[in-house]
Structure formats: C-alpha cells, structure tokens
Amino acid sequence: MARPEKIRLGEILVQQRLLSEEQLGLALTDQKRSGRKLGRVFVENGFVTEEQISGAIARQLDIPYINLKFYNTNPAVVRLLPETQARRFRALVLEDRRTSLLVGMSDPTDLFAYDEIARQVKKAVELAVVTETEVLQAIDRIYRRTDEITDFARELEQDLGDSVVDFGALAANPGLEEAPIVKLLQSVFDDATQVRASDIHIEPQETRLQIRFRIDGVLHLQTEADIKIATSLALRLKLMADLDISEKRLPQDGRFAMKVKQQRVDVRISTMPTQYGESVVMRLLNQGGTTLRLDAIGMPARLVERFRAIVGRPNGLVLVTGPTGSGKTTTLYSALSELNSVEKKLITVEDPVEYRLPGINQVQVNDKIELSFARVLRSALRQDPDIVLVGEMRDQETAQIGLRAAMTGHLVLSTLHTNDAASTPLRLMDMGVPRYMVGSSLQAVLAQRLVRVICESCSEPYSPSPTERLWLCAEPGESGPDTAFFHGKGCSHCNGMGYRGRTGVYELLEMTATVVDAANHHDPAHFLRAARTEMAGETLRRHAVQLAVQGRTTVAEAMRISHQLED
C-alpha cells in the first residue's frame, strides 16, 4: 500500500460530525496548556471515544479498523516486531501475508514509525487502525517474559555451579554475585503483573524448581529451572522481606513493596519448609489498579442498594463470609472507601493490611509481640472510632469484643469463614458468643464466592450437557429450553483458557425481627428455615445460575460454586 499521509485529526472528526467546532476549540486550548496529544484530550474530556477516533481515521485513509478485543492474534507473528518498537510506535503485527505484513497502529499517520517498522520487519507493510489502549494491552499480554525468565534461571545455574551458598557472605553483602537472581525475580514479577496473576508459587521438587502463577483462581506453570537455584531464590526473597535467613526449619511470613511498570505492588510472602527445600508463595496486591467501589465488584444493583443501606447504619456488626480467596477483603474495603469521610473516624485491625486508604487508621496485628486482634480492638475502641474494620473474627474473644462494640454505638465490619450466609449466626454461637448478643448486634451477613468470567473475545454459544441441564432444572424459572448458553473456545486474549477475569457471586441475609427471634430458638434447624425464608431464594447458587443465563460465566463454573456449598 502507499505510504500514509499526515492528516488533521480535529478537522476529520468535525467533518464526520463526531465533534463540534466548539469542542475542537476547547480541546486545542487544553492541548496548548497541557501538552498532551490532541486525541487523548478528546477522549479524556469525553468528546469522543477511542473507537470513534480510530473509525474516523480508518474511513479517512480508507484502511480497515480492527477491534483487537475480538481479534485472535498469533504471538509468533506479533513478535516479528521487537517489543521495544511495538511499544514505542503503538504498533502490532497482526498478519503475515507472505509478501507483506498487516500492522495495526494507533496512529497510522506517523510517517517515521511507518518507515522504522518497514525497515525492522524487512517486508512491505499494510496498515490497519487500532486503539492505543487495546494495542498496549495486547503488547502486555503477548510479549511474555517466559523465555527471558528461563534464560536468567540458566544464567543463575551457571553462576552458582556446584558451589555451596555462603549465607554469611550473602547476608553481609546482599548484592554479591546476585545480578542473575535480581534479573530473574524482576522478570518474574513483571510477567506476573502482565498476566494479572494474584499469586506466585516457587516450589522445589525432587529434581526441578517450578514457578507457577495463579491467574483467575487457577494455577498455571510459568517455567521450570534447575533445583540448584531454589536456595538462592528463597534467600534473596527472605532478605527482601526482612525475614530470618538462617531459619529454614520453620515457616515465616513477611511483606515488601516494589514498583512494577510504575505501579506500587505490595507483596505478602510466606515460606514453608518442604521435603526438597523452602516453598515460597507470594500474594501480589496492586495498590494502583483496584477500583474500590461496591458497584464495581460485580454485586447486583439491587443488592448494592440494600448493602449500602445496611453499612450506612450508625451501629451494628456486618459480616462478609466465604473461603480464602473469595474477595471478602475487597468487598469490605469497597464499603469502607464509600464510608470514608472527614466527619468519621475509621480504624482497621488487620493481619496483614492489604489495601492502603488515605484518611483511615490502619493497624497491623503482630503476634510476635502479643499485638493480637483482641488487644488492638480493645485499644481501638478507646480511640473514639465511628467505624471499625476487624480483618477476621478468629476466636471467641475477638468476636465478643466486636459484638460489644456494635452494641455500644459503633459500626463494626469483619469477615468469617463459613459456607453460606444462613449458617454464619450459628457459627458465632458455636464460637461461644451468647445468643442475645448475636441477635441484638448482628445486622447482616453477606456471603460470596468468585467465578471466572467468559472471555468476551472468544465467547460462543454451546449446548449444555445432560448433567448441566439437570442441574439447571433445580433453579426453576431462571432458564428454559430456548435459553442460550455460552463458553469460551480459547484465544490469545485468555491464553487458551476461555476465561478472562472473575466476578463475585453473592447472597445477603438481613437480621430482621423474624430471623432474630429464630436465632434465640435452641433448634438450629428452625433458625436455618427462618433464614432461608427471609432470603427468598436469593442464594449464591441462584446468582451463579443467573450469571450463566446472562452469558457472563459457564454452567460448569456455576456448578463449581454449587459443589463448594455442598462440600
């Protein structure tokens, strides 16, 4: 195709009636003041969308506009252009047409970029328009650091040779002979952040060291390396977390912070002695990429309204329940961020502090110095708080202090490990909390799980199996014979998994007068019947079925939630 020509973006958008003359004038003034690109000014001011800009450029230049969200890229073809140039020019090689390459660019009028790309790939270049946001997301997803991690691991193996690691020397001089370790760890963290991993598992096996990432709740093997580097890796990570490097026989916990792609990432680290060495698991908490709002975590609108009303009350205990990794803390912090104001004093008692919010007093529990939940909670109540968040109701003492605080004019938010909302008040009583205290202080229980969301780039209709159909019949009225169900066939956007991201599944039990009366009854079965009647069928299972009917998740994922509840 012919070499592209420079065009005036503002004039094109006005000609195509996507922008008014007045908006163009405002944007040009803003651009002169801020120095930002004109297209970015249009988008950030809400005048047009990135898709509208790309479509307008495509029509003007008579080249295709490609929505990368629905384009299945070939990583081998994409890598024909090195990552450095791809990021610099916001360009992606989309297709190899033998004599030419189809290249998507966010700005196809950039003549210098066009010439540099053609020189780099040594082929004729045909252009398509893509949005800048989508091309950067695709670059992050495709230019994985798997090969780089493997290379650094091999380099570390060669550096170590067969020698024994001198712990004393390394402790005295952490930088000594550690360049390969630092490079390896940096690459691992970069790659984990790119693929949205929540955890990194470094696990020594008999002959190999395996590194796995947990993505959307499922572990994926990242790479395998020689077992020789396991000790050095564990040592370096323990130094970063200020743990005892001489202690390898006992588990240790710690944390450290690092910057990955200009974003702060807090890392919680846990080490555990195993048969072949120390296993290290790291939880990644991205402090810059989380939207802490109740309406942004997947909670249905009607449930958001009810839950906001409950946490807006001046006192009482509100519990969020579910297994480890079900998003309980995120839900509580979403509520806390909405309650946070200058007029209210908020205190959190956590182990560990997972999110940092301005204007909130956050306390880290430390059992080594006997700074327990109960002790901190007692002190917190003397600080005249309006709202207290307790990371977890771990024992009878903590639960009773929290409930007494709720009885004396404080709003208390906390978590508990139970199977569903209905069984939570019974669990508190089982912990030794008096029935009257549960009935008078507990306001509501929100139970939740996380389900994987179908990748929208490869979502397609499918027919559920007979077993899945039978399971769906247990929720009458939610689906019928004509209901269309979807699954992901697997593509480059979701690494062939068919899922990308997760969303919450919820149920809410409000402690009405009827439920409180039942709680004071000595028959647990009587209370469970009253609680389920109060919930009117709005259960975790039903919400999961609704997500499957809406095409957000698969029937198999919804069934997985049901099996967890039955276990």
The count of other CB atoms within 10 Å of the CB of residue 497 is 17
- Look at residue 352 and give its three-state secondary structure: coil
Question: Topology of domain 144-286, per CATH?
Answer: Beta-Lactamase (3.30.450)
CATH 3.30.300.160 in the chain, residues?
Answer: 9-141
CB 440 within 8 A of CB 428: no
Q: Which amino acid is at 2?
A: A
The count of other CB atoms within 10 Å of the CB of residue 553 is 28
Q: Distance between CA atoms of 309 and 254, rounded to whole angstroms?
A: 37
Per-residue confidence (pLDDT) for residue 5, from 0 to 100: 62
- Look at residue 436 and give its three-state secondary structure: helix
Superfamily grouping for domain 301-449+502-536? P-loop containing nucleotide triphosphate hydrolases (3.40.50.300)
Length of the chain: 567
Q: What is the mean pLDDT of the chain?
A: 85
- Look at residue 256 and give its three-state secondary structure: strand
Q: How many CA atoms lie within 13 A of 137 on its CB side?
A: 14
The count of other CB atoms within 10 Å of the CB of residue 548 is 28
CB 144 within 8 A of CB 79: no
Per-residue confidence (pLDDT) for residue 45, from 0 to 100: 82
- The residues near 276 (Cβ < 8 Å, ≥ 6 apart) are 204, 205, 206, 227, 230
- Global confidence as pTM: 0.75
Per-residue confidence (pLDDT) for residue 159, from 0 to 100: 57
Per-residue confidence (pLDDT) for residue 168, from 0 to 100: 39
- Of 367, 423, 424, the closest CA to residue 399 belongs to 424
CATH 3.30.450.90 in the chain, residues?
Answer: 144-286
Per-residue confidence (pLDDT) for residue 166, from 0 to 100: 39
- Look at residue 390 and give its three-state secondary structure: strand
Q: Distance between CA atoms of 411 and 80, rounded to whole angstroms?
A: 58
Per-residue confidence (pLDDT) for residue 165, from 0 to 100: 35
Per-residue confidence (pLDDT) for residue 200, from 0 to 100: 95
Per-residue confidence (pLDDT) for residue 156, from 0 to 100: 61
Per-residue confidence (pLDDT) for residue 511, from 0 to 100: 93
User: Omega into 180 within 30° of 0, i.e. cis?
Assistant: no
Distances (CA, A) of 314 to 126, 304, 309, 412: 63, 18, 10, 10
**Residue ranges in the chain modelled with pLDDT below 50:** 162-177
Q: Which amino acid is at 566?
A: E
> CATH for 9-141, among 2.70.150.10, 3.30.300.160, 3.30.530.20, 3.20.20.140?
3.30.300.160
Q: Distance between CA atoms of 274 and 293, rounded to whole angstroms?
A: 40
